[in-house]
């Protein structure tokens, strides 16, 4: 059994975000990066299948040099090998360009299962996983909170609104985009990190994968024109001063509301 996991490296959730010079994305220098939160759950789910039986887990990521760190972490957690698409030609790609690149690797690998995250914490697109499934000709489900494998089938519980669930049967190979919280994610052990140093990371370019025309700003069908701080609306009245003054302000408000 072969399982692919696509993971994206994104700015750390607590990173300070400043808009870049031309106003089209954030300044990346000086900030910390981490594996996209949803993708850690995707990787964990794949590793659990490996722990329970026999599976090769291959992690794939598209991004610049810094992504090596994310892949090393994934290998340290237990993935077997990694594919890193590292090519400046991919800068400015839209979701479809990223999906075509991942699908090209997917077709080379022909996995039994593909795990991805429901959404990236930076672009918040929730686009790539169903696109990859369509391009690879796989069935798919998003928002997955449970995946039960049996012969040639995966029974999936996907999250709906308000905590309701939808149960769906998908014949494998299938692609699952997981929702946060479906498992508790392991840490890479020291031993795992040492072992990861010997695991292979295969580096590829867009041309290697035959997707050069589909990627980058040239291949993109949609374009981010500008990124900016959301305009401040009416917003909250802010209480300032010492902790005592702030607390007095809060207590007065609660009294005014008739709740004290």
Ligand X SMILES: Nc1ncnc2c1ncn2[C@@H]1O[C@H](COP(=O)(O)O)[C@@H](O)[C@H]1O
Kindly state whether residue 98 participates in binding ligand X, applying the rule CB under 6 A: yes
Choose from ligand X, other proteins, ligand FAD, none: what does 155 bind? Cβ within 5-8 Å by kind: other proteins
Distance of alpha carbon 88 from the chain centroid: 20
Scanning the structure block, which residue is given the tokens 């059994």? Answer: 1
Closest CA to 119 of 32, 222, 42, 215: 42
190 phi, psi to nearest 5 deg:
-60, -40
Give yes or no for residue 44 binding ligand X (CB under 6 A).
Answer: no
Cα angle 173, 182, 191; round to 5: 85
Query: Of other proteins, ligand FAD, ligand X, none, which one does residue 61 interact with (CB within 5 to 8 Å by kind)?
Result: ligand X
Per CB under 6 A, 40 contacts ligand X: no
Site for ligand FAD in 75-134 (CB under 6 A): 118-119
Start-to-end CA span in the chain (Å): 62
Query: What whole-number distance in Å separates Cα of residue 140 and Cα of residue 150?
Result: 16
Instruction: Pull the structure tokens for residue 182.
Output: 């479906």
Q: Report 11-50 residues binding other proteins (CB under 8 A).
A: 11, 13, 17, 19, 26
Pairing relationship of beta strands 139-150 and 174-178 according to DSSP bridges: parallel
Within 12-41, the residues that bind ligand FAD by CB under 6 A are 13
Closest CA to 168 of 154, 150, 149: 154
Interaction of residue 9 with other proteins, rule CB under 8 A = no
Among 68, 86, 180, 205, contact with other proteins (rule: CB under 8 A): 180
Cβ proximity to ligand X, 10 vs 255, nearer residue: 10
Question: Is 126 among the residues that bind ligand X (CB under 6 A)?
Answer: yes
Residues that bind ligand X (CB under 6 A): 6-8, 36, 38-39, 42, 60-63, 95, 98, 116-117, 119-120, 123, 125-129
Residues that bind ligand FAD (CB under 6 A): 13, 118-119
């Amino acid at each position: 059994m072969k399982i692919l996991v696509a993971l994206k490296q994104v700015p750390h959730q607590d990173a300070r975000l400043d808009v870049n010079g031309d106003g089209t994305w954030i300044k990346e220098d000086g900030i910390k990066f981490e594996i996209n939160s949803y993708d850690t759950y995707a990787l964990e789910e794949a590793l659990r299948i490996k722990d329970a039986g026999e599976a090769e887990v291959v992690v794939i990521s598209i991004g610049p040099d810094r992504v090596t760190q994310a892949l090393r972490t994934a290998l340290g957690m237990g993935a077997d090998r990694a594919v890193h698409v590292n090519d400046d030609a991919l800068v400015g790609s839209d979701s479809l360009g990223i999906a075509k690149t991942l699908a090209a690797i997917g077709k080379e690998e022909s996995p039994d299962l593909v795990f991805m995250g429901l959404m990236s914490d930076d672009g918040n697109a929730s686009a790539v996983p169903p696109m990859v499934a369509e391009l690879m000709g796989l069935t798919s489900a998003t928002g997955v909170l449970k995946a039960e494998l049996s012969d040639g089938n995966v029974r999936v519980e996907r999250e709906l609104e308000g905590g309701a669930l939808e149960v769906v049967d998908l014949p494998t190979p299938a692609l699952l985009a997981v929702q946060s919280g479906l498992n508790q994610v392991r840490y890479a052990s020291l031993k795992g990190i040492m072992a990861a140093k010997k695991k292979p990371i295969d580096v590829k370019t867009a041309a290697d994968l035959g997707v050069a025309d589909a990627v980058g700003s040239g291949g993109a069908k949609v374009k981010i024109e500008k990124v900016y701080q959301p305009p401040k609306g009416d917003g909250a009245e802010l209480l300032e001063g010492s902790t005592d003054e702030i607390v007095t302000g809060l207590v007065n408000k609660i009294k005014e509301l008739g709740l004290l």
